[in-house]
């Protein structure tokens, strides 16, 4: 494991070289324009939807799923099509500094296994889920039977585990309440428990979706209870959105140790709603940021950082919050927060001694940098400018577990 051995002032160099047995010639000294930052954690992204990201965000969620998303996702029965899009999705996210991603694939097991393989080849850290849906009235061709869905999830989980990837894990993925029967949810909950694996889904993204859940599952008190009673709300669960969760539901999240993936670009692009992150954090619910490609139109976590601030400021303007999130807080959500949400904070999330080195080498004066620095800019200013205005042109190198993954190796 290429871990972080020590963090010491540069003056200690000679002493450290003796202690750790390295030579002066092996030291990599950064220029004044360069710094390392922890890798970004995208806690919610749909790899198959990358093919239409940046288009078709002109409908509300349920219509958007029917008109664009389900028809696109059916194409992943073709492994060649899947290979092209999945390769591009992994390249794009890595190039933009996503060292860890939590992916939804589609209902197709073979293409989902292929996604796991591609991620491993590129060296990204990830969770990958084969999507489960045994109800789909808006696109009847795109669903499975209950038993198929459960059997194929088992094949997917075993398939990924058997590969013994160093950093790619399977995750059980019921799509959302309206596309699942109670029986399927229950069996997936059992499966998650039996294998001790993580669970991801969507919750309370739009008001229309919540009404639909109430109609389909009238015996449950609320959306959160639907997942909870089916063993899908545990300390190994990450739910996207949660814009309309009640206090009672948030308390249940806290109690179970379940996490939320906040996807501000998606929430505003599809006019779904606003998540009050400050309030969620007050309940001590684990929270990370997600791009939610392609409901969110950008695959970059820097966009997620900026949109999280815009949403937080909007709530402040509307007097729903006294204080908004700061840039520092949002930066932490995009790194350490995401790692906590995915149960990886003992391994990644910041540069603590003993953690693995998931990092981005940033150059604030890259030759084609999209922003300018002036003599009066202090280091802190250059970091802020990068976070608000920078992009992949400023990311010179990306490391996952100490291995250089960007620039891409010629073997991928
Ligand atoms: N809810 C169910 N499926 C989806 C999806 O693909 N994207 C988003 N944003 N919400 C969903
Ligand atoms: Fe999503």
Which of 205, 268, 269 has most ligand 1 atoms within 8 Å of its beta carbon, as the pocket-test mutant? 205
CA–CA separation, 115 and 4 (whole Å): 29
Residue 73 CA, closest ligand 1 atom number? 6
**pLDDT grade for 412, boundaries at 50, 70 and 90:** confident
Ligand 1 lined by 175 (C-beta under 6 Å): yes
What global pTM score does this model have? 0.99
| pLDDT tens, position by position, 154-210 | 999 999 999 999 999 999 999 999 999 999 999 999 999 999 999 999 999 999 999
| Alpha-carbon dihedral angle through residues 266, 364, 124, 260, given to the nearest 10 degrees | -30
| pLDDT tens, position by position, 325-368 | 999 999 999 999 999 999 999 999 999 999 999 999 999 999 99
Rounded to an integer, the average pLDDT of 146-161 is: 98
Is beta strand 168-174 parallel, antiparallel or unpaired with respect to 98-104?
unpaired
Rounded to an integer, the average pLDDT of 231-257 is: 98
Residue identifier of the C-alpha nearest atom 9 of ligand 1: 295
| pLDDT tens, position by position, 238-248 | 999 999 999 99
């Amino acid at each position: 494991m290429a871990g972080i051995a020590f963090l010491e002032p540069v003056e200690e160099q000679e002493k450290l070289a003796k202690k750790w047995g390295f030579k002066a010639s092996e030291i990599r000294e950064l220029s004044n324009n360069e710094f390392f930052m922890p890798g970004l954690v995208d806690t919610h992204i749909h790899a198959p939807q990358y093919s239409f990201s940046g288009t078709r965000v002109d409908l509300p969620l349920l219509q958007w799923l029917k008109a664009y998303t389900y028809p696109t996702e059916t194409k992943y029965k073709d492994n060649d099509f899947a290979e092209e899009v999945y390769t591009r999705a992994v390249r794009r996210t890595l190039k933009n500094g996503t060292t860890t991603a939590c992916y939804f694939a589609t209902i197709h097991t073979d293409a989902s296994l292929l996604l796991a393989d591609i991620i491993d080849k590129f060296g990204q850290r990830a969770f990958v889920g084969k999507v489960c849906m045994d109800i789909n009235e808006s696109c009847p061709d795109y669903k499975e039977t209950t038993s198929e869905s459960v059997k194929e999830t088992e094949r997917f989980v075993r398939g990924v585990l058997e590969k013994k990837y160093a950093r790619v894990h399977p995750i059980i993925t019921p799509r959302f309440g309206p596309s699942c029967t109670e029986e399927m949810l229950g069996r997936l909950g059992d499966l998650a428990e039996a294998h001790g694996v993580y669970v991801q889904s969507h919750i309370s993204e739009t008001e229309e979706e919540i009404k639909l859940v109430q109609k389909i599952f009238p015996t449950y008190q609320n959306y959160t209870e639907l997942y909870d009673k089916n063993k899908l709300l545990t300390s190994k669960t990450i739910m996207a959105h949660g814009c309309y969760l009640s206090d009672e539901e948030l308390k249940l999240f806290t109690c179970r140790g379940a996490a939320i993936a906040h996807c501000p670009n998606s929430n505003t692009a599809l006019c779904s709603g606003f998540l009050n992150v400050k309030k969620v954090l007050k309940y001590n619910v684990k929270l990370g940021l997600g791009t939610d490609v392609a409901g969110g139109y950008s695959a970059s976590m820097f966009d997620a950082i900026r949109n999280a601030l815009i949403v937080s400021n909007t709530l402040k303007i509307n007097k729903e919050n006294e204080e908004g999130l700061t840039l520092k807080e949002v930066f932490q959500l995009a790194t350490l927060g995401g790692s906590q949400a995915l149960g990886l904070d003992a391994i990644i999330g910041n540069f603590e001694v003993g953690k693995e080195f998931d990092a981005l080498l940033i150059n604030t004066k890259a030759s084609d940098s999209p922003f300018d620095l002036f003599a009066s800019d202090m280091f802190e200013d250059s970091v802020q400018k990068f976070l608000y205005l920078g992009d992949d042109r400023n990311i010179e190198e990306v490391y996952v577990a100490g291995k250089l993954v960007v620039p891409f190796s010629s073997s991928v």
